[in-house]
Chain A
Amino acid sequence: MGNTNPPAKRRIRASLSVKILTVLSVATLALSACGSGAPATGNAAGPVSTEPVQGGTFVYAEVAPINNWQTQAARFYEKSNVLNSVLDRLTYFDTESGKLVSWIASEFSASKDQTEFTFTIRDGVTFSDGTPLDAKAVKENLDALGLGIKDAQVAPNVDFASYKSSKVVGKNQVKVTLKAPDANFLRATSSVTAGLVSPATLKLDNAGQSAIAKIIGSGPFVFESEKTDEEVTFAKRADYKWAPETAPNQGAAYLDKLVVKYLPEVAHRAGAVQTGQVDLVRGLQPVDEQALKSSGDQVLPAQGVDLTTNMAAVRIGNGKLADAKVRQALQVGIDRQSIKDTVLSDSYVIADSVLNHAAPGFIDLSADLAYNPEKSKALLDEAGWVVGADGVREKDGKKLELTITSSNNSVVIKPAFELIEQQWREIGVKLINRAADNTFLATAMIDPNIEFFGTRQFAYGGLGPVFGPANNTQTLNADTELNALFAKERAATSEAEHKELVAEEQRQLVTEKALSLVLWDEVQVYGGNSDAHVEFTSGTAPIFQGAWKTGK
């Protein structure tokens, strides 16, 4: 099909004779594979694309098996990446234009004070069980998102914290009323965690709503079968014709089937793509990127526009970090370029704020983030932390020993903090690195004595839900000044005013209060077979509705 394939991709689906032949010709193949260059990269596009090819089965490898598919809890990539193909949402965030566009809601509007929102529901949309996705079904979904489902022990969605109620108006409209103004409410309706499910799904108990087999959506793919902890198979929905307004493919998916497999072992991810055993894999290690490019396959970095940058978030109110000077010292005590050069790759962009470069409202704070260990030392001196005999600073009999916790979701988070550990040692700070230790994380999440939480979070618009509430697991405490700022930002009535307030939030979090020690833009690096053509959402999820394979 016109694009430059490397010669003879080895495929596991090959017949026996081909397998034998393969064994015999391994040496030749290995040599020829080295010769073919033509690496293809980019956030969205695959290799030089031609007309999409109809049909075929696409094999996608996720990093860990998922059992609990409850939609509102889909704040992890393993879930949201898959549910993105099963559930539609009211709105869609288009990365290219940076705008919210229509999807299941053909029109949407907000009242001037951001407390009332009206959605006009598209005609003719049905869930895969045949139920119409009408205004009534949308109201039931919004109630579940905003109020939770008591009988099924489903908690309200954090992005819908200001939700009060909604009612069906006219023939096909839903009017939502909020308890308090929220300029970010519309954006939250584009999140996978706000995916619309059939009213029948909402009536199930917790176990039912957690089972992928019972989650009925209106998306381009429908559940077909499951092998526990190994794979889930989806079939395309032939009558699908309600893709987001900006989607290149407005009809049914090109692919016949989508198979999601699990590949927990990180060492095999590049090889799985190179041998054609999977078409796409998430969680590629930086060291594997070059190998994949040189075999003619694709390295596909998907920018996480919907998320904050990767950061060490300060647990607000923590004793050792109570003084802003200490936090500012740590902020400029991080050599971000050296993190990129040492443990990351070209797929990663150094953070210049707490928001990604592509996020609406991003401001460039790079001047305040430049590596400056001398300034760090001066700030720590000013704050009264004196270098002790072992090189670690002390004050009032306490050592400046800090602990970081994080999940193991990112393949690069642990080595990054190992490097920061070395950088901070030079300014007299000892970092106890518990990054990527999930067992430790489970208890550390609710322990305010752990000074840092290494993370990146979905941030649909403002930063309030990320840093605001007092019982937030990220910061564990609230900052009253910040919360006042967040409230002001949510209540903003014009786009210009909202933008200025989001900018102020960034300055406060990164520079003045230094509560977010930012590292690099959130990106999920996928490995793609040379035959695979796939683009990604602003939340880094693959868009399988528009995906296709050259060779089939």
Chain B
Amino acid sequence: MAAYIARRIGQALLVIWLAYTLVFLAVQLLPNDPVTIFLSADAAADPATIAAMKAQYGYDQPLIVQYFSQLAGLFTGDFGYSLASGQPVAERIGAVVGSTLVLASSAFVTAVVFAVVLVASATLARKAWLKRLVLNLPPLFAAVPVFWLGLVLLQVLSIKLGIMSLFPDGSFASIAVPVLVLAIHVSAPIAQVLLKSVDNVHAQPFIDVLRAKGASPSWIFFRHTLKNAAAPAMTISGITVGTLLAGSVITETVFARSGLGQVVLQSVTAQDVALVQGLVLLTATAFVVVNLVVDLLYPLLDPRILKSGTHGAPRALVA
């Protein structure tokens, strides 16, 4: 077990470091340095000011020095300086990350509940039409664009009916509606994968044995099927971190919420290089950490993973 955990953590750190290095190199491919880009927003930037600012933020150093000093900065919590906002990157991100965490985690939990409810009702439905209807929901959810659903809901609920604010005002609706919009989109892949693996589990002999013993369908589903079908759904849940973050960008814009979404939008449009680097690093870390957690949970579902050494097995089901 310890070796398994150590290997997984080592891989995670490697991925984060590679992501950071790639972004650093990508920034060097930009036609100009961060200071010149920032100052070009106004007319006639003074060359002396450009030089002074470059020196101030270390952009005048040789590449290799910049790379290692920035890398060293990360360990002390120094993520650089966001020129466009005039704040340290850590401060800029720190001020809003909580809002996104609340949105994304609530949406994730809601999405998982949605997916389980959907799959349970599809599996346990007695009427054929109901089953067909429920089965068609995930593709529909995946197809509905987040911004469109958000716009329509605000148009109806806020502008036509006046029962919620266009702005985040702390009311239940202004929290629940964005969460719902994001959750619907994120639940689609989880539900689809879960449906498929429930089918796979149900095709296995031990289910026949349970049925023969007279177990009810719902008892079989909740006691046996779900646990056995969970691994692929967990894998896909880990991967939805990307969807969650991308969805948050859109949701936050549509619902005028503060959060990483607005910061991503601003930093990319203003080409605020240090901020973009910080955001990429944060996203990569979030992605890696969530997938690390998923990986560390697998052995709890299926102890065979630790023995066989074929640690890719659960993921193979997804493919």
Name the one of A12, A70, A263, A439 contacting B269, with C-beta atoms under 8 angstroms: A439
Q: How far, in whole Å, are A22 and B160 apart by their CA atoms in the complex?
A: 10
Using Cβ atoms and an 8 Å threshold, which residues of chain A touch B259?
A: 229
| A272 CA / B256 CA spacing, docked (Å) | 12
Indicate whether A374 reaches chain B with its CB closer than 8 angstroms.
no
Among A229, A262, A265, A439, which residue has its beta carbon within 8 angstroms of that of B268? A439
CB-CB < 8 A to A75: which residues of B? Answer: 42
Cβ-defined contact, A67 with B162, below 8 A: no
Query: Which A265-293 residues sit within 8 Å CB-CB of chain B?
Result: 265, 267-268, 271-272, 274-275, 277
Query: Interface-forming stretch among A205-213, A363-371, A423-431?
Result: A205-213
Distance A551 CA – B35 CA, assembled complex (angstroms): 49
Q: Which residues of A contact B155 (CB under 8 A)?
A: 267-268, 271
A409 CA to B154 CA, complexed, in Å = 24
The proximity string for B residues 252-281 relative to A, scoring 1 for CB distances below 8 Å and 0 otherwise, is 011011110011001011110000000000
Distance (whole angstroms) from the CB of A275 to the closest CB of chain B: 6
- A residues near B47, Cβ cutoff 8 Å: 471
Q: Specify which of B160, B254, B257 lies most central, judged by the most chain A CB atoms within 10 Å of its CB.
A: B160
How near does chain B come to A4, taking the closest CB pair, in angstroms?
Answer: 22
B86's partner among A14, A206, A261, A274 (CB-CB below 8 A) is A206
Pick the contact of B159: A262, A268, A408 (CB < 8 A): A268
Q: How far is the CB of A308 from chain B (nearest CB, A)?
A: 12
Closest to B165 in A: A12
Please measure, in the bound complex, the distance between the C-alpha atom of A229 and the C-alpha atom of B93, giving whole angstroms.
11
**Is B262's CB under 8 angstroms from A210's CB?**
no
A471–B49 CA distance with the chains assembled, in angstroms: 14
Q: Are B162 and A230 neighbours in the complex by a CB distance under 8 Å?
A: no
| A471-B161 in contact given A229-B96, A446-B32 (Cβ < 8 Å) | no
What residues on B are CB-neighbors of A264 within 8 Å?
253, 256, 262
Cβ of A443 within 8 Å of any chain B Cβ, yes or no, is yes
7 contacts between A and B (CB under 8 A): A228-B95, A229-B258, A229-B262, A275-B162, A408-B269, A446-B36, A473-B44
Q: Is A508 an interface residue (CB 8 A)?
A: no
In the docked arrangement, what's the CA distance between A263 and B160, Å?
Answer: 18
Cβ of A398 within 8 Å of any chain B Cβ, yes or no, is no
B39 within 8 A of A: yes
- Shortest Cβ distance from B159 into A: residue: A271
A465 at the interface (CB under 8 A from B): yes
In the complex, whether A19 has a CB less than 8 A from a CB of chain B is: yes
A457 within 8 A of B: yes
A265–B256 CB distance below 8 A = yes
Do A14 and B162 have beta carbons less than 8 Å apart?
yes
Nearest CB to that of A277 among chain B residues?
Answer: B166
Separation of A262 and B169 alpha carbons in the complex (Å): 13
Q: Mark A29-49, 1 if CB is under 8 A from B, else 0.
A: 010000000000000000000
A538 is an interface residue with CB less than 8 A from chain B: no
B52 is an interface residue with CB less than 8 A from chain A: yes
Q: Give chain B interface residues in 1-39, CB to chain A under 8 Å.
A: 30-32, 36-37, 39
Of B43, B86, B154, B158, the contact of A473 (CB 8 Å cutoff)? B43
Task: Give the distance in Å from the alpha carbon of A153 to the alpha carbon of B258 in the complex.
Answer: 28
Residue among B161, B162, B163 with most chain A CB within 10 A: B162
Contact indicator A457/B43 (Cβ below 8 Å): yes
* Contact status of A231 and B86, CB under 8 A, knowing A438-B269, A438-B270, A439-B268: no
How many angstroms from the CA of A469 to the CA of B294 in the assembled complex?
Answer: 58
Given contacts A261-B256, A443-B31, 12 further A-B contacts (CB under 8 A): A12-B158, A22-B161, A23-B162, A30-B160, A73-B42, A148-B46, A206-B86, A228-B258, A229-B259, A263-B167, A265-B254, A442-B40
Name the B residues within 8 Å of A231 (CB-CB): 167
- A11, A26, A210, A230: the one contacting B257 at CB < 8 Å is A230
CA distance A65 to B270 in the complex (A): 13
Instruction: Give the total of A residues in contact with B, Cβ under 8 Å.
Output: 61
B86 with A207: CB separation less than 8 A: yes
For the complex formed, measure the closest distance between the CB of B258 and the CB atoms of chain A, giving whole angstroms: 4
Please, which residues of chain B bring their CB within 8 A of the CB of A263?
Answer: 166-167, 256
- Bound-state CA distance A22–B162 (Å) is 7
Q: Does A403 contact B (CB under 8 A)?
A: no
Knowing A68-B86, A156-B46, say if A445 contacts B40 (CB, 8 Å): yes
Contact assessment for B166 and A67 in the assembled complex, using a CB-CB cutoff below 8 Å: no
- Bound together, the chains give a CA A30 to CA B159 distance in angstroms of 11
With an 8 A cutoff between CB atoms, is A10 at the interface?
yes
Most chain A CB within a 10 A radius of its CB, from B92, B95, B163, B270: B163
Residue B56 is within 8 A (CB to CB) of chain A in the complex: yes
For window 437-466 of A, CB contacts with B under 8 Å fall at 438-439, 442-443, 445-447, 457, 465-466
**Chain A's nearest CB lies how many Å from the CB of B288?**
26
List the B side residues contacting A22 at CB < 8 Å.
161-163
Interface assignment of A150: CB less than 8 Å from any CB of chain B: yes
Q: A449 to nearest B CB, angstroms?
A: 11
**CB-based contact B43/A228 at 8 Å:** no
Q: Determine whether the beta carbon of B52 is less than 8 Å from that of A262.
A: no
Which of A30, A150, A227, A442 neighbours the largest number of chain B CB atoms within 10 Å of its CB? A442
State which residues 229-272 of B face A: CB under 8 Å: 253-254, 256-259, 262-263, 266, 268-271
| B87 interfacial contact with A, CB 8 Å | yes
Interface: A485 (CB within 8 A): no
Q: Is A247's beta carbon under 8 Å from chain B?
A: no
Give, as a whole number of angstroms, the nearest-CB distance from B171 to chain A. Answer: 9
Given contacts A65-B266, A457-B43, A469-B44, A443 and B271 within 8 Å (CB-CB): yes
A30–B167 CA distance with the chains assembled, in angstroms: 22
**Closest B residue, CB atoms, query A408:** B269
Closest 8 CB pairs of A and B: A210-B86, A229-B258, A271-B159, A67-B85, A438-B269, A442-B271, A155-B49, A469-B44
The reply on A91 being an interface residue by CB < 8 A is: no
Say yes or no: is B53 at the interface (Cβ < 8 Å to chain A): yes
Q: Whose C-beta in chain B lies nearest to the C-beta of A193?
A: B42
Q: Which chain A residues numbered 457 to 497 have a C-beta less than 8 Å away from chain B?
A: 457, 465-466, 469, 471-474
CA distance A23 to B45 in the complex (A): 55
